[in-house]
A and B are shown apart, each in its own frame.
Chain A
Amino acid sequence: MKLLRLFATSFSLSLRQALAFRANLVFDAVLSVVALASTIATVLVIFSRTTTLAGWTRLEVLVLIGTFELLSGVKTTFVDPNLAGFPTRGVREGRLDHHLLQPAPSMFLVSFATAAPLAGVQILLGLGVVFAGAGELPRFPGAGAFCVWAVLVAAATVTTWAVGMIFASLAFWAPKLDLHSLFGNVWQLARYPADIYARRLRRVFTYVLPLALVASAPARTLARPVDALLVRGAMVTTAAAVLVAILVWRTGLRRYTGASS
């Protein structure tokens, strides 16, 4: 409860700071709309040459794109502002020292000290595309499918945070290693159905860097009958990612001796 209040307070602060510059809100909204329009245009161009992409129809890919945009919005709003600069700001410049002295779990403070609320526009746009795409599907997904979709989106969000946390924690061993930007680049691979990748790559994107679970798994539950095995697999992957993140953070923290030492 205390952590929830802390999270709400830090988000509220970030929101008030962001809203002080209204023009930026308009700019970010326009940018998000144009970026989404470009992605949808790309999908339409692709489907002007084919009827299915690795077994996915145009509407199914639209649901996938919407889910991806939503999760990208969550990543840009909450994960990137905190973890992207952690190796530099946290470890090399010593901001972590400040977090360690505060009466809250350091992992929580490092993850949720700030936010980029204006990027939240992308979340709303993504939701809009998901509902628009799902509404046009030949078989409208029932409430149950939407519930499973929401659970998988939540699992994907937690997995994304955990992977970001693991990459950030590696800075305890190699402070100059900034893997978050690499994660951001590879993240783009989740924009299309995981089925388009060769089997070996698909295995890497499922078990090593769980990108296949990011957008493809939730979108699949809306487009097709719910696969219990897929849901269980996503839950296990999320739990494993969180456990590894906690383990790597704690091990790294034991190594940490302050920015100047």
Chain B
Amino acid sequence: MRTGRLLALAVRRQFLEWAGTWWFTASLVVNYAIGPLIGLVVWSAVLPGDARIVRYFVALVAVHLLTASFEDYTFAESVYDGKISARLLEPQPVVLGPAGENLAIRLWLALFGLPLTVVVALVTGATYRWQDVLLALPSLVLAAVLRFLWTWLLALAAFWTERVHAIVALGNILVFLLGGIAAPLADLPASWQSVASLLPFHAMLGLPADIASGTLPASGVALQAGWCVVFALAAVVVWRSGVRRYTAVGA
């Protein structure tokens, strides 16, 4: 309960802080929307008239925006400039700060990006069954948690190296290729499909879009929950190891 209140407070504070950077937020929305939009154009050219492709990629725009994670900037930078030292002394888990900022940024991305998604849906004529959209919501929440945990885990590399942005970029390449932006899971070659459906990348991005577009059943949430547990445990181990290694800036 206390943790929930602290998280809500962090979200509120960060949401207000981000209110003054609307232009930057708008450019982030473009950044996160452009990949799925290119996918929509390319795959519409490959499979013209396939309504599934349009439904999938329009849903993917929303999922990509609502699962966006920036811990290589928000958290890793605090390790580099030493601001984490003060946070380590606070009587609350350090992860609440980055998690709060993550949720606040996603709220802003939703405010700017969801109207854009609606416009794209109207222009492309994408239509959804409301039952599929409702079924996709739990998967979307789990994908958002999973994406945060994945980026957070990679961002913890900041305790060991200064190249955390490159490490997260490598991670994002995997998400791009196997997560469903490069191609929908159903359109990957058969040998890739079986591997991609088990790895966490499709679970953190493409799965909610597949469920919303009626391509896949909602049973994939069990796999998502499993990967969430794996990443959470890995994050705890790496965090403890990283904090032991950390010596404050100037020390």
Q: Do A and B come from one complex?
A: yes
Binding site for B on A (CB under 8 A): 23-24, 27-28, 30-31, 34-35, 38, 41-42, 45-46, 48-50, 53-54, 176-178, 181-182, 185-186, 188-189, 191-192, 196-197
Residues of A within 8 A of B173 (CB): 34-35, 38
Question: Which of A27, A54, A191 is close to B38, meaning CB atoms less than 8 Å apart?
Answer: A191
Closest to A181 in B: B27
Select from chain B the residue with minimum beta-carbon distance to A183.
B27
* A178: B residues at CB distance < 8 A: 23-24, 27
Interface positions of B from 31 to 75, Cβ below 8 Å from A: 31, 34-35, 38, 41-43, 45-47
Chain A residues whose C-beta falls within 8 Å of the C-beta of B198 in the assembled complex:
none
Contact mask for chain B residues 140-160; partner A; CB cutoff 8 A; 1 contact, 0 none:
000000000000000000000
Instruction: Report how far A89 CA is from B163 CA in the complex, Å.
Output: 23
Contacts known (A41-B182, A176-B23, A185-B30); A48 close to B35, Cβ less than 8 A: no
**Could you tell me which B residues sit within 8 Å of A by CB distance?**
23-24, 27, 30-31, 34-35, 38, 41-43, 45-47, 163, 166, 169-170, 173, 176-177, 182-183, 187-189, 192
CA distance A48 to B34 in the complex (A): 23
With A28-B166, A31-B169, A181-B31 in contact, do A197 and B41 touch (Cβ < 8 Å)? yes
Q: What is the number of contacts between chain A and chain B, taking CB atoms within 8 Å?
A: 71
Chain B interface helix/strand/loop/mixed: helix
Q: List 17 A-B contacts (CB under 8 A).
A: A24-B163, A27-B163, A28-B166, A38-B173, A42-B177, A45-B183, A45-B187, A45-B188, A46-B42, A46-B43, A49-B46, A53-B46, A178-B27, A186-B30, A186-B34, A188-B34, A192-B42
Across the two chains, which residue of chain A brings its CB closest to B177? A38
Contacts A178-B24, A196-B41; is A188 near B47 (CB within 8 Å)?
no
Given contacts A31-B170, A182-B30, contact A38 B182 (CB under 8 A): yes
The residue in chain A whose Cβ has the minimal distance to the Cβ of B188 is: A45
**CB atoms of A185 and B188 under 8 A apart:** no
Contact, CB under 8 Å: B38 / A42: no
Q: In the complex, which residue of chain A has the Cβ closest to the Cβ of B192? A: A45
Query: Which A residues touch B45, using CB under 8 A?
Result: 53-54, 196
Are the CB atoms of B182 and A42 closer together than 8 Å? yes
Query: Which 8 A-B pairs have CB atoms at the shortest separation, nearest pair first?
Result: A42-B182, A181-B27, A196-B45, A185-B31, A50-B46, A185-B30, A45-B183, A38-B173
The minimal Cβ–Cβ distance linking A62 to chain B, given in whole angstroms, is 15
Give every chain A residue within 8 A of B27 (Cβ-Cβ): 178, 181-182, 185
Is B46 a contact of A189 with CB atoms below 8 Å? no
Q: Which residues of B contact A182 (CB under 8 A)?
A: 27, 30
Complex interface: chain A residues within 8 A of B163 (CB): 23-24, 27
Q: Establish whether residues A38 and B42, one from each chain, have CB atoms under 8 Å apart when the complex forms.
A: no
Minimal beta-carbon separation of A167 from chain B (angstroms):
12
Return A88 CB to nearest CB of chain B, in Å. Answer: 11
- Smallest distance from the beta carbon of A196 to chain B beta carbons, Å? 5
B176 touches A49 (CB 8 A): no
* Pairwise interchain contact B46-A38, C-beta atoms closer than 8 A: no
Q: Once the chains are docked, how many angstroms separate the CA of A176 from the CA of B22? A: 10
A48 and B182 alpha carbons, distance in the complex (Å): 13
A45: chain B residues at CB < 8 Å are 182-183, 187-189, 192
A34 & B170 in contact (Cβ 8 Å cutoff): yes
Write out the residue numbers on chain A whose beta carbons fall within 8 Å of the beta carbon of B176. 38
Contact A31 B42 (CB under 8 A): no
Question: What residues of A have a CB within 8 angstroms of the CB of B34 in the complex?
Answer: 185-186, 188-189
A196 in complex: contacting residue of B23, B42, B177, B182, CB < 8 Å: B42
Expressed in whole angstroms, the minimum distance between the Cβ of B232 and any Cβ of chain A is 26
Query: In the bound complex, how far is the Cα of B182 from the Cα of A217, in angstroms?
Result: 24
Q: Which of B31, B42, B189 has the most CB of A within 10 A?
A: B42
- In the complex, residue of chain A having the shortest beta-carbon distance to the beta carbon of B27: A181
Q: Tell me if A192 and B24 are in contact (CB < 8 A).
A: no
Query: Which A residues touch B166, using CB under 8 A?
Result: 27-28, 31
Q: Which residue of B lies closest to A48 (CB)?
A: B189
A188 contacts B46, C-beta separation under 8 Å: no
B162 CB to nearest chain A CB (Å): 8
Cα separation A35 to B188 with both chains bound (whole Å): 18
How far, in angstroms, from A181 to B31 measured CA to CA in the complex?
8
Instruction: Closest B residue to A31 by CB, please name it.
Output: B166
From B33, which residue of chain A is reached at the shortest CB distance? Answer: A185
